[in-house]
Chains A and B, each alone.
Chain A
Amino acid sequence: MTEQIIRMEVMRYRPEQDEAPWLQSFDVPYSDDMSVLQGLNYIKDELDESLSFRWSCRMAICGSCGMMVDGVPKLACKTFLRDYPGTVRVEALHHFPIERDLVVVLDDFMEKLERIQPYIIPRQEQALSEGEYLQTPTQLERYAQFSSCINCLLCYAACPQYGLDSSFLGPGAIALLHRYNMDSRDGASEQRMELVAAEEGVFHCTAVGYCSEVCPKHVDPANAVNLNKTRAAGDYFLRFAKPKGRCQ
């Protein structure tokens, strides 16, 4: 494999000395099998150990290496330097406050994640002695796609509406919310509806669809958001027709 040189323009922001983010250029030797993440690791190991970025699994599983590569939200470990002949620009994910260099502040998303109750809330609590909550392959299929989310936040960086108003619950959280609503073992979709139908909910979305385009796990959050628009509209108009409370 021949070794080539690529110029990596990397966003730097060190709050104690930089007033605003800026781009620093590094010449990085690379081979065809090297990812953008490996390029960054080369910089950190050989050129400037002060560069900060998040990563862990190196195999598109942990979701920590999301960044803008030539302006497009990408996982650095799943993006290859060979696809950017000459120069590549690496910046922190759009639409999030920057903590340092390529590291963004995730607090807003973490809070949203908590609010969607991303866990199974059984319709009826089952005693241990009754065994597992069983599920057929068909029931699994209804939510399987939406369960592939790795919380990498590329969809948030892609979403123009989240960029304009970050009170929007956003594509990733809604896809995950939908995943639990669609699970036959879960009975909390009505609780989650409050959030879906709220001003922060699905109606922020203007069906741009870029979130689904950039999703590295093919979750299709745009589909989840738009399915929930229909559900929320149904809930809006039919809520008075629905029986209230529990039967005794």
Chain B
Amino acid sequence: MNRPLKRSNAPIFWGLFGAGGMLAALLGPMLIFITGIAVPLGLLLPRSAMNYAAMLAFARHPLGKGFIFIVIALFLWHAAHRLFHSLHDIGIHGGTLAKLLTYGLAAAGTVIAAGALLATGF
């Protein structure tokens, strides 16, 4: 501990992790229920609720865009942080490679999501 102290950049990743975790806990089960169970089986919600036209309209609305982007990006950052630390816990201290495979993928996913949402048009 004698070397000069270096400020950790962890707050960025920890913040994204925390935000993603909170969102996943609040919205995750509900989203799985709606998209994976309720709509496909026609339970409570009509099957047409998620047809192409409806989803396109949703993705074109600024609020819909924001929702989709935040859910995808923050869930990814949450997962990346969790995986990175779990790798460390089980003895894989991959350094840069582990960072690339976790945070790198989350960053790529974030960019792709943003690009796709923009390409969908308004």
Contact with A194, one of B5, B11, B14, B15 (Cβ below 8 angstroms): B5
How close is A119's CB to chain B, nearest CB, in angstroms?
19
How close is A192's CB to chain B, nearest CB, in angstroms?
11
A201 on the B face (CB < 8 A): yes
Chain B residues with Cβ below 8 Å from A197 are: 7-8, 11
**Beta-carbon contact of A233 and B11 below 8 Å:** yes
Chain B interface residues toward A at CB < 8 A: 1, 5-8, 10-12, 14-15, 85, 88-89
A203 on the B face (CB < 8 A): yes
How close is B102's CB to chain A, nearest CB, in angstroms?
14
A187 on the B face (CB < 8 A): no
CB contacts between A and B, total, < 8 Å:
43
Complex: chain B residue closest to A114, CB-CB:
B1
**Beta-carbon contact of A236 and B5 below 8 Å:** no
Chain B residues with Cβ below 8 Å from A233 are: 11, 14-15
A241 on the B face (CB < 8 A): no
How close is A101's CB to chain B, nearest CB, in angstroms?
27
Q: Given A111-B1, A115-B1, A200-B1, are A236 and B89 neighbors across the interface (CB < 8 Å)?
A: no
Contact with B89, one of A200, A201, A206 (Cβ below 8 angstroms): A206
Complex: chain B residue closest to A108, CB-CB:
B1
Bound-state Cα–Cα, A181 to B88, Å: 31
How close is B67's CB to chain A, nearest CB, in angstroms?
24
Bound-state Cα–Cα, A130 to B11, Å: 42
Bound-state Cα–Cα, A194 to B4, Å: 10
**Beta-carbon contact of A229 and B14 below 8 Å:** yes
A24 on the B face (CB < 8 A): no
Contact with A198, one of B6, B14, B85, B89 (Cβ below 8 angstroms): B6
